[in-house]
């Protein structure tokens, strides 16, 4: 399998390089058209937050974990090593869809993604959609969805970017970006390498020095990681009506499994995990007036090796084909209809037999204005899984524009949606513990949100308030009854409110951008399907009721200062003991140096400024105050004379 993956990797990069090199001398002036047809327009009534390139640059050497912790009230359960999973509105990690080019990249064996393995360096934009979106994106999208993307820019010439970060505890990040675009071709390649020793000191609350009557001071061991990867993207304007694209994303992620505090102090056997991911996607877009036709073809391979033991290989291969038809003037509205096909073949040491699965999704979305200032979107999806029960997931969204003037708007939105999660392959086929009789998890999501925006000159202000109610039935959990086995054991109700505020003011060369996010989530088990549950009526484990963050950025000429604060409230652990909440403060100072088309950025950052000793999960150490220095060099819009003549 590694040979096949390497061959595909070489083929993809070689094809891109050949097409690129053959296109440099042939420039055609074409009408500008949108390359990617976004389905986001059909999520009327849903709350969507966009993290643009300015915010992404603040953690450019970090992962998806850091950007969410900084700017959004979403809980990430993480250790200091290489594992981070999301709990969106109190749901499980398996209830959030992570989408690359519209394709879900969650592990088909585990059911979720490790956010620490998704580097922000590779992307220009991250969009976060709160609540259910199974009617658009299928399985997993119960609690929310995260979209990773890049925005192609045409006729920009050559672009080069280099980044080097050095940080405390043996951490470093190196990145390289190369790109070229003219009126016909857009090509980019991004490469990165990251490593961390994670040998930080900490107060070990699992070990007490009885002579001094205080906890032992310890140093973290066996929590190192090393990641590298490449993302290349090619866009071709074949004609003024047809586009072709090819994207290849490959990563190799290795990390030691961080021991808990007791094992770290007393020693023991320590393990490691290596993950490799290959995502190859290509497709065509055809535009003709009100009609738009898109096709996508993909191959995804996920590979995991535990503790270098070849007899414990976990791998999945997925072949994907999508067909979409769009009509922008259908019954006075917009229509999107199509079909998705996925064929999955796992190669897992703990599965019995030759397992394969096919999934077909048939969907249709329609959006139009019902009355002046009121828009509506209806989405329908039927998911058919071989040898399994099909799933139907409709959704309805409304958006009423109460205020619409030259400098202010007020939206009131409502949505109701049905969602589902197909049990993972491990849940169904892991021998001898798997349970092939599991039912799909099902969710109902109700959401009401308002958003007010005010702009004047270069100043802006917006505030949003959201209330949500979600119920998830047939919740799957591994329980120890006769043996450890997954079962549909409970029904969960999640409800809460979310507040978002952001303000931008520009005065006499100063630009001040500040924001606050807060979430109150009550997530409880309301019904148990077996008689051994002791958690009915209690807040779900590792689900803080209160979580919030704030940021303030001050720009003056070429200087910028960023300060962020975050609070994570109390949580229950697996034994339903309370884990203390914690408050973290970070700050960074930087300057940009401009030399014609060259830019050098220097940044100095202090994380955990107050040196807070805290635990994100019980008895796993997290680093105290630590430092990072980042240097970035970029040159943009570099064109040769032959291009300028065109």
Tell which wins on pLDDT, 595 or 18.
595
Could you tell me the residue range of the domain that residue 525 belongs to? 2-645
Q: Answer positive or negative: Cα dihedral of 62, 68, 71, 75.
A: negative
State the average pLDDT over residues 241-260: 96
Cα(600)–Cα(479) distance, integer angstroms: 54
When pLDDT is cut at 50, 70 and 90, the band that residue 53 belongs to is confident
Average pLDDT rounded to a whole number, residues 261-284? 94
Asked whether the beta carbons of 195 and 171 are under 8 A apart, the reply is yes
Q: What is the pLDDT of residues 549-576, one digit of tens each?
A: 999 999 998 999 999 999 999 999 988 8
Give the per-residue pLDDT at 211. 81
What phi and psi, each to the nearest 5 degrees, are found at residue 120? -65, -25
Confidence of residue 1 (pLDDT cuts 50, 70, 90): very low
Cα–Cα dist 213/208, whole Å: 7
Tally of helices (H runs) and strands (E runs) in the chain: 7, 34
pTM for the predicted model, two decimal places: 0.91
- Asked whether the beta carbons of 278 and 299 are under 8 A apart, the reply is yes
Q: What is the DSSP letter of 210?
A: T
Span 104-127, pLDDT tens digits:
999 999 999 999 999 999 999 999
Computed on alpha carbons and rounded to an integer, the radius of gyration of the chain in Å comes to 25
| Other CB atoms within 10 Å distance of the CB of residue 316 | 18
Q: Which residues of 148-173 are buried (b: 16+ CB within 10 A; e: fewer)?
A: bbbebeebbbebebebebebbbebeb
Q: What is the pLDDT of residue 563?
A: 96
Number of domains in the chain: 1
CA angle, 218 then 219 then 222, to 5°: 130
Q: How far apart are CA 361 and CA 340, in angstroms?
A: 5
Burial class (CB in 10 A: 0-12, 13-18, 19+), 232: buried
30 pLDDT higher than 60: no
Whether residue 432 has a cis bond before it, omega within 30° of 0: yes
Domain of 180, CATH number, reads: 2.40.170.20
Are residues 150 and 123 in contact, defined by beta-carbon separation less than 8 angstroms? Answer: yes
Asked if the model's pLDDT at residue 377 lies above 50, the reply is yes
Give me the half-sphere count of Cα atoms (radius 13 Å) on the Cβ side of residue 537: 1
């Amino acid at each position: 399998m590694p040979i096949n993956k390497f061959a595909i990797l070489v083929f993809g990069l070689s094809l891109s390089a050949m097409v690129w090199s053959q296109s440099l001398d042939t420039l055609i002036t074409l009408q500008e058209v949108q390359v990617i047809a976004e389905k986001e327009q059909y999520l009327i009534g849903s709350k969507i937050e966009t993290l643009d390139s300015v915010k992404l640059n603040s953690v450019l050497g970090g992962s998806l974990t850091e950007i969410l912790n900084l700017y959004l009230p979403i809980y990430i359960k993480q250790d200091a090593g290489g594992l981070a999973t999301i709990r969106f509105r109190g749901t499980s990690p398996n209830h959030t869809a992570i989408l690359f080019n519209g394709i879900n990249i969650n592990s088909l064996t585990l059911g979720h993604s490790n956010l620490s393995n998704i580097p922000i360096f590779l992307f220009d934009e991250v969009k976060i959609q709160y609540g259910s979106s199974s009617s658009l994106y299928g399985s997993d999208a119960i609690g929310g969805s995260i979209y990773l993307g890049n925005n192609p820019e045409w006729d920009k010439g050559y672009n080069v970017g280099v980044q080097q970060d050095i940080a405390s505890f043996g951490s470093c990040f190196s990145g390289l970006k190369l790109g070229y675009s003219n009126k016909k071709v857009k090509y980019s390649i991004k490469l990165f390498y990251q490593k961390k020793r994670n040998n930080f000191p900490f107060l070990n609350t699992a070990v007490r020095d009885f002579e001094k009557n205080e906890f032992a001071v310890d140093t973290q061991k066996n929590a190192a990681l090393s990641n590298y990867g490449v993302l290349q993207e090619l866009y071709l304007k074949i004609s003024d009506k047809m586009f072709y694209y090819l994207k290849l994303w490959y990563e190799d992620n290795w990390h030691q499994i961080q021991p808990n505090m007791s094992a770290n102090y007393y020693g023991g056997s320590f393990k490691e995990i290596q993950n490799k991911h290959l995502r190859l996607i290509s497709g065509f877009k055809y535009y003709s007036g009100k009609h738009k036709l898109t096709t996508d073809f993909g191959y995804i391979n996920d590979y995991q090796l535990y503790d270098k033991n070849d007899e414990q290989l976990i791998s999945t291969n997925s072949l994907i084909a999508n067909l979409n038809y769009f009509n922008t003037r259908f019954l006075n509205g917009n229509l999107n209809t199509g079909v998705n096909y996925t064929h999955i073949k796992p190669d897992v040491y703990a599965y019995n037999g030759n397992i394969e699965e096919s999934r077909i999704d048939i969907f249709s979305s329609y959006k139009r204005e019902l009355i002046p200032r009121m828009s509506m979107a209806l989405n329908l999806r039927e998911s058919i899984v071989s040898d399994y029960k099909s799933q139907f997931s409709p959704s309805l969204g409304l958006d009423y524009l109460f205020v619409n003037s030259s400098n202010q708007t007020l939206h009131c939105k409502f949505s109701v949606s049905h969602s589902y999660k197909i049990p993972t392959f491990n849940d169904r086929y892991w021998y001898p513990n798997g349970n092939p009789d599991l039912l799909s998890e099902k969710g109902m999501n109700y959401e009401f949100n308002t958003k007010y925006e005010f702009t004047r000159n270069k100043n802006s202000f917006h505030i949003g308030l959201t209330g949500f109610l979600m119920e998830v039935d047939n919740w799957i959990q591994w329980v120890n009854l006769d043996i450890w086995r997954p079962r549909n054991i409970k029904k969960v109700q999640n409800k809460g409110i979310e507040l978002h505020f952001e303000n931008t003011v520009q005065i006499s060369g100063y630009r001040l951008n500040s924001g606050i996010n807060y979430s109150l989530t009550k997530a409880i088990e309301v019904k148990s399907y077996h008689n051994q549950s002791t958690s009915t009526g209690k807040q779900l484990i590792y689900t803080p009721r209160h979580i919030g963050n704030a940021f303030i950025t001050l720009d003056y000429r070429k200087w910028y200062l960023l300060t962020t604060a975050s609070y994570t409230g109390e949580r229950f652990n697996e034994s339903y003991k309370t884990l203390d909440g914690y408050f973290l403060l970070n700050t960074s100072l930087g300057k940009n140096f401009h030399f014609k088309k060259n830019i050098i950025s220097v940044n100095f950052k202090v994380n955990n400024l107050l040196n807070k000793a805290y635990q994100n999960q019980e008895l796993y150490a997290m680093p105290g105050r630590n430092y990072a220095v980042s240097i970035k060099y970029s040159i943009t819009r570099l064109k040769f004379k032959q291009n300028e003549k065109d």
